Amino acid sequence: MLRDTGLVFAYQTRRLIRSPVVIAVGIMQPLLWLLLFGPLVDGLAAPGLGSAKAFDLFAPGLLVMLALYGSLYTGFELISELRAGVVERMVVSPMRPAALILGKALRDVLALGVQAVILMLIAVAMGLDADLGGLLIAFGLFAVVVVMTASFSYAVALMLRDENMMSQSMGFLSLPLLLLSGVVLPLSLAPGWLRGVARVNPFYHVVEASRSVMAGDFSDTSLWVALGFSLALTALMLRWAVGSLRRI
Amino acid sequence: MVIEAEKMSRKFRQRGTTVEAVRGIDLHVRKGEIFGFLGPNGAGKTTTVRMLATLLAPDSGQVSVAGCALPKETRRARHLIGYVGQAGGTDDGMPVLDNLVLQARLNGLGRTAAHEQSRRTLAALGLVDLADRLPRSLSGGQRRRVALALGLVHQPQVLFLDEPTLGLDPAARAVLWEQIRALREAGTTVFLTTHYLEEADALCDRVAIIHQGRIVASGGPAELKRGISGDAVTLSVGERDGERVMAALEHLPFVREVREAPAGVRVYVENGADAIPSLVRGLDELGVTVQSIGLESASLDDVFLKHTGSSLRMPGAAGAESGAETSSSYVA
């Protein structure tokens, strides 16, 4: 299993390196948010924000935005591979089917991880005040969220097998997931009912946890809630995707 | 037997209704033979090959491939089989050699062995020059040969090919046929599905004809055609006169059988050349003008026609092919 996952990961990474433009295009959206929206929130003061600098609250959320948008659409690749018979060919080999999903998801972690590092370096240059240990923990959480979201995207792709339906479905999901994650502004500013709805959104907990740890607050329970929530969902999504792969 | 299936069945649910794609078929494929599975689109060929290639579990029946009982020994079977689906399975985003090396490694070969075996397979199929090319830059025939290489790179005992020459021009098809024949010489058992009659006839040691999920005939192509015996004379008389002509010709003493054909009738006789003058005379007496006459030996299509009542070549028939006819024609 480990060997097969490693083989798929190495192959997919070489494939990614052949198209570096994918990484450049992928980082554009969160980068534009950082460059064009970041200066707007810098220095913003509002009830609910506490003593924290608004920019320090905003920048960690961009990591989650990158994970969400970068992984949610990765299933498109699987649809074209299904159509070309690549998936079928690999499934007939003695490889464990889970290795295909995991290998691809880990490639997504690598591709998005590079983008995340670039993003945070620019954010630091723009004035982000982040705890280094907290930043590393946030990157770890980011990796889990990428595997979770990518596995979800692969599972949906295997179920729908149609680019148009995939595009509609992911478009429908991405906006509420983003708005209810508190990436743009903390949901502490939101009315009670909205905060209640947000609590079922795993990305909300990841944003909260990322903000806490990057601020150097490791005692906050949000980290454990986010980690538990994300790991449980990652296991479920992987299971779903691998189960779908067995039924192609 | 390398492949054995007894009463193998598979159903699918489609929009609330159950479709019986494969209905209790039996298959016995010997080691080292090319076995053809012939039938129109939708007959159950792909479902069958997917079940044998471990992609789909049968609903019922006993299946054994390369000595492995399926689905129980799926993983062991996957070490021993190769599979090339209709789509081919080449990854357009990576060079041909990388495609092959990954496939070899997923089949358990080490890094060095995978590279060596990939290069050896490319050489055997005359693809060495394409090793560094992206599959998307290749012609249809070249892509098909790369797909074949992907199925062969780990030297399987049994190779499953689902419509291997679909959409290829005759020249590319001939090249692929030669390479499939070479596999037989090397001792590989090949199970291929096709709806090309001439492919089954020219390439396969034995064929099974599938129609609506059931095998209606099986045996060597020559043996199956012998069951029809004699020649087939196709008379184009226009659709208006078809039924009248059939009724009249059925009673001629040398006619074995008359069947409807596109824009005419198909008459089975012992000796076509001798029968044609009498057939034309008979139609003349009926006042029917013969527009053209075709004479050919009985083909696998005639076998298909005999067992199913329809032709693989009939316009509108699922899987009707556009392959070249082998008949000699006369215009009346």
**Per-residue pLDDT at B274 exceeds 90:** no
- pLDDT in the model for residue A47: 55
**Quick check: A4 contacting B, CB < 8 Å?**
yes
**Per-residue pLDDT at B8 exceeds 80:** yes
User: Do B91 and A86 count as a contact with CB atoms less than 8 A apart?
Assistant: yes
Mean pLDDT of chain B, nearest integer: 84
DSSP state of B323: P
Torsion of CA A171, A173, A174, A177, to 10 degrees: 160
User: Do A88 and B105 count as a contact with CB atoms less than 8 A apart?
Assistant: no
Using CA atoms, how far residue B109 sits from A52, A99, B70, B100, B106, in Å, is: 56, 17, 24, 11, 7
Interface residues of chain B, partner chain A, Cβ below 8 Å:
53-55, 75, 78-79, 81-94, 98, 102-103, 105-108, 147, 150-151, 154
pTM: 0.79
Helix locations, B108-264, DSSP H: 111-124, 140-152, 170-185, 197-203, 221-228, 242-249
Which token pair is B235?
């008379």
Across the interface, of A11, A18, A248, the residue whose CB is closest to B102 is A11
Torsion of CA B21, B24, B30, B36, to 10 degrees: -30
Could you check whether B3-219 and B226-308 share the same CATH topology?
A: no
pLDDT band, very low/low/confident/very high, at B105 (cuts 50, 70, 90): very high
State the smallest CA–CA distance between residue A98 and chain B in angstroms: 13
> Which chain B residues are within 8 Å of A84, Cβ to Cβ?
87-92
Instruction: Identify the three-state secondary structure at position B22.
Output: strand
Side-chain-facing half-sphere of B89: CA atoms under 13 Å: 28
Q: Which amino acid is at A97?
A: P
- Parts of chain A with a pLDDT under 70: 42-52
**Domain boundaries defined on chain A:** 2-246
Mean pLDDT (whole number) for B117-144: 89
Chain A residue with CA closest to B88: the answer is A85
Written as one string, the DSSP assignment of A91-103 is HHSSS-HHHHHHH
**Quick check: A91 contacting B, CB < 8 Å?**
yes
User: Do B83 and A81 count as a contact with CB atoms less than 8 A apart?
Assistant: no
| B266, B312 contact by CB (below 8 A) | no
State the smallest CA–CA distance between residue B201 and chain A in angstroms: 27
Mean pLDDT (whole number) for B189-206: 88
| Contacts with B27 (C-beta within 8 Å, 6 or more apart), sequence order | B3, B4, B5, B8, B48, B52, B208, B215
**Quick check: A16 contacting B, CB < 8 Å?**
no
- pLDDT in the model for residue B260: 81
User: Do B87 and A84 count as a contact with CB atoms less than 8 A apart?
Assistant: yes
Lowest-confidence region among B111-125, B182-196, B295-309: B295-309
**Per-residue pLDDT at B316 exceeds 70:** no
At the topology level, CATH places domain B226-308 in: Alpha-Beta Plaits (3.30.70)
Across the interface, of B88, B91, B106, the residue whose CB is closest to A94 is B106
- pLDDT in the model for residue B239: 65
Torsion of CA B148, B151, B156, B159, to 10 degrees: -70
Instruction: Identify the three-state secondary structure at position B37.
Output: strand
**Per-residue pLDDT at B229 exceeds 70:** no
State the smallest CA–CA distance between residue A3 and chain B in angstroms: 9
Mean pLDDT (whole number) for B275-304: 82
Choose from B50, B92, B103, B105 for mutation: most chain A CBs within 10 A. B105
> Which chain A residues are within 8 Å of B84, Cβ to Cβ?
89
State the smallest CA–CA distance between residue A10 and chain B in angstroms: 10
pLDDT band, very low/low/confident/very high, at B234 (cuts 50, 70, 90): confident
DSSP state of A45: -
Which token pair is B109?
């070969």
> Which chain A residues are within 8 Å of B82, Cβ to Cβ?
92
C-alpha to C-alpha distance for A55 and B8, rounded to whole angstroms? 65
Torsion of CA B107, B109, B110, B114, to 10 degrees: -100
| B84, B152 contact by CB (below 8 A) | no
State the smallest CA–CA distance between residue A84 and chain B in angstroms: 5
pLDDT tens-digit readout, B179-192: 888 888 888 999 99
> Which chain A residues are within 8 Å of B12, Cβ to Cβ?
none
**Per-residue pLDDT at B327 exceeds 60:** no
Q: Does domain B3-219 have CATH number 3.40.630.30?
A: no
DSSP state of A33: I
**Domain boundaries defined on chain B:** 3-219, 226-308
* Other C-beta atoms lying within 10 Å of the C-beta of residue B285: 9
> Which chain A residues are within 8 Å of B94, Cβ to Cβ?
11, 14-15, 18
**Per-residue pLDDT at B167 exceeds 90:** no
pLDDT tens-digit readout, A21-79: 877 887 888 888 888 887 777 666 555 555 567 777 788 888 998 899 889 999 999 99
> Which chain B residues are within 8 Å of A92, Cβ to Cβ?
53-55, 78, 81-83
Using CA atoms, how far residue B173 sits from B45, B160, B202, B222, B318, in Å, is: 20, 17, 12, 22, 21
- H/E stretch holding A4 reads helix A2-17
- pLDDT in the model for residue B254: 84
- pLDDT in the model for residue B235: 85
- pLDDT in the model for residue A100: 94
Hey, which residues does A227 pair with through a beta bridge?
A: none
Instruction: Identify the three-state secondary structure at position A43.
Output: coil
